[in-house]
């Protein structure tokens, strides 16, 4: 017990113990005096019996001795009554009442339950229980626990929740869990476990309607955190292709995920041996804006498929002199690779400028020579064709039998 807050109770208990010892002594003296009275009067004398008044001296001694006996008996009765009263009523303390079941306890200082039992204790020290479990064993032994049962384990109250924390203070917290990591690591301040597919491990609900209302908020408080530190860490330990590390959804037309950075990258996606980002949408799979709308690095930086006219639709959301798509390669590979089995490999169009602008050290454009020794039979006006002999042809008139003109 805390010595500062428990001093009044310790003093009271000491007085109770002293009173008990006093009553025991008085009871013993009472018995001795009664024996002396009986021995003086032959074992049967009464105070009002004739023999008690036979001689003045004898009567005087008898009355004195019996007075002591009665005094001791009275003290014993008073002491016994005091003990009985103490046993029947909770002892009043200067800082509040004793903790009694079924009652509200008031106190002016901290009330604590200090466990001083075996170090191998595997239950809960202080348990609020509405279940058939006894609290002697727990999957996570704890100082404080709240258990609620259901079905065959339900308690008489039908309490649905284990622990409920509530506060009206907007600067406070309903429940606070702290792990100081003074010994050991890899634990948590708060652990939430859901044992079924339809039960969440942790649920955060915000009923507010204002801007920036947050259901779950994870914060790295340090202004100089270590590498790979994260406000929220989501992990799926599955070894198949099912499930996700993070599942974010929006019931309306808002964003499923909003990622922001004051000066770095809003979103980093790493796929390991798989895909870094897979995006699909009825209208647009990926909508990106910024100095670089999309910056992708990989063996194949971006792979996009679409069911409509465009597999990829990347556009600057505002007027800008910067490109909507910027693809760079510091090696010998292509900055952009476009392939198609039935349409153009790469198509560029502009309503106010050139459809394509090219620059290069050895040459601005290279046409791979075809397999024919002359131009194709058919063509579309504007086609350029380099045959295998090195001649360059230009299609002047479209058709299955097109008109071609050699320009080099």
Element spanning 36, H or E: helix 3-40
Provide mean pLDDT across the span 181-193.
Answer: 93
**Is residue 26, in this structure, part of any structural domain at all?**
yes
**Is residue 19, in this structure, part of any structural domain at all?**
yes
**Is residue 110, in this structure, part of any structural domain at all?**
no
Domain end among 34, 67, 88: 88
Comparing 49 with 384, the larger pLDDT belongs to: 384
Whether residue 7 is found in the same domain as residue 82: yes
Q: List, for residues 251-304, the tens digit of each pLDDT value.
A: 998 888 988 888 888 888 888 888 888 877 777 777 777 666 666 666 666 666
Query: For residue 19, is pLDDT > 70?
Result: yes
Residues with Cβ within 8 Å of 65's Cβ and at least 6 positions away in sequence, in order, are 33, 36, 37, 40
Beginning with the edge strand found earlier in the chain, give each strand of the sheet holding 384-386 in spatial order: 384-386, 392-397, 403-406
**Is residue 394, in this structure, part of any structural domain at all?**
yes
Whether residue 69 is found in the same domain as residue 138: no
**Is residue 142, in this structure, part of any structural domain at all?**
yes
Q: Can you say whether the dihedral through the CA atoms of 322, 327, 330, 333 is positive or negative?
A: negative
**Is residue 114, in this structure, part of any structural domain at all?**
no
Whether residue 128 is found in the same domain as residue 80: no
Query: Residue 370: exposed, middle, or buried by beta-carbon count in 10 A (0-12, 13-18, 19+)?
Result: middle
Whether residue 8 is found in the same domain as residue 50: yes
Provide mean pLDDT across the span 192-214.
Answer: 91
- Calpha distance 64→158 (Å, rounded): 68
Kindly report the backbone phi and psi dihedral angles of residue 405, in degrees, each rounded to the nearest multiple of 5, phi listed first. Answer: -130, 130
Whether residue 7 is found in the same domain as residue 84: yes
Whether residue 24 is found in the same domain as residue 76: yes
Mean pLDDT for all residues in the chain: 79
Whether residue 24 is found in the same domain as residue 77: yes
Provide mean pLDDT across the span 80-99.
Answer: 50
pTM above 0.85? no
Whether residue 31 is found in the same domain as residue 79: yes
**Is residue 323, in this structure, part of any structural domain at all?**
no
Q: List, for residues 38-59, the tens digit of each pLDDT value.
A: 666 554 443 333 333 334 443 4
Instruction: Name the DSSP class of 23.
Output: H
- Is residue 352 helix, strand or coil? coil
Q: Which residue range is the domain that position 382 belongs to?
A: 368-408
Q: Can you say whether the dihedral through the CA atoms of 43, 45, 50, 51 is positive or negative?
A: positive
The count of structural domains within the chain is 3
Whether residue 126 is found in the same domain as residue 79: no
Give the pLDDT confidence score for residue 15 in this predicted structure: 75
Query: For residue 372, is pLDDT > 80?
Result: yes
Give the pLDDT confidence score for residue 135 in this predicted structure: 87
**Is residue 34, in this structure, part of any structural domain at all?**
yes
Predicted confidence band of residue 90 (pLDDT cuts 50, 70, 90): very low
Whether residue 80 is found in the same domain as residue 7: yes
Q: List, for residues 306-353, the tens digit of each pLDDT value.
A: 555 555 555 555 566 777 667 777 888 888 888 888 888 888 999 989
Whether residue 72 is found in the same domain as residue 129: no
**Helices 3-40 and 56-88 sit at what angle, rounded to 10 degrees?**
150
């Amino acid at each position: 017990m805390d010595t500062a807050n428990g001093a009044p109770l310790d003093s009271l208990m000491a007085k109770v113990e002293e009173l008990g010892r006093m009553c025991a002594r008085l009871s013993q003296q009472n018995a001795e005096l009664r024996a002396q009275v009986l021995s003086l009067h032959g074992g049967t004398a009464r105070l009002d019996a004739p023999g008690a008044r036979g001689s003045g001296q004898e009567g005087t001694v008898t009355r004195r001795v019996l007075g002591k006996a009665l005094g001791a008996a009275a003290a014993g009765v008073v002491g016994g009554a005091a003990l009985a009263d103490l046993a029947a009523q909770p002892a009043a303390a200067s800082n509040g009442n004793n903790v009694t079941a079924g009652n509200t306890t008031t106190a002016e200082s901290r009330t604590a339950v200090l466990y001083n039992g075996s170090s191998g204790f595997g239950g809960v020290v202080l348990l609020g229980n509405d279940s058939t479990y006894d609290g002697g064993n727990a999957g996570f032994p704890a100082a404080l626990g709240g258990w609620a049962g259901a079905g065959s384990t339900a308690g008489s109250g039908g309490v649905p929740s284990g622990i409920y924390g509530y506060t009206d203070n907007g600067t406070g917290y309903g429940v606070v869990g702290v792990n100081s990591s003074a010994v050991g690591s890899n634990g948590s301040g708060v652990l939430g476990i859901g044992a079924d597919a339809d039960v969440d491990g942790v649920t955060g609900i915000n009923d507010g309607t204002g801007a920036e209302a947050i259901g779950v908020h994870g914060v790295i408080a340090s202004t100089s955190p270590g590498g790979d530190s994260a406000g929220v860490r989501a992990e799926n330990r599955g070894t198949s292709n099912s499930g996700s590390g993070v599942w974010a959804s929006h019931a309306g037309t808002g964003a499923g995920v909003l990622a922001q950075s004051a000066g770095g990258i809003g979103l980093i996606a790493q796929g390991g041996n798989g895909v870094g980002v897979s995006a699909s949408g009825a209208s647009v799979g990926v909508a990106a804006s910024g100095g670089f709308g999309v910056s992708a690095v990989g063996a194949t930086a971006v792979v996009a498929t679409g069911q409509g006219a465009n597999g990829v639709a990347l556009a600057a959301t505002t007027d800008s002199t910067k490109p909507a798509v910027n693809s760079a390669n510091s090696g010998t590979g292509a900055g952009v690779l476009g392939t198609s089995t039935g349409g153009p490999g790469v198509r560029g169009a502009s309503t106010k400028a050139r459809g394509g602008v090219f620059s290069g050290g050895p040459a601005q454009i290279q046409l791979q020579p075809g397999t024919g020794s002359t131009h194709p039979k058919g063509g579309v006006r504007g086609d350029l064709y380099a045959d295998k002999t090195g001649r360059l042809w230009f299609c002047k008139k479209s058709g299955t039998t097109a008109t071609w003109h050699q320009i080099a």
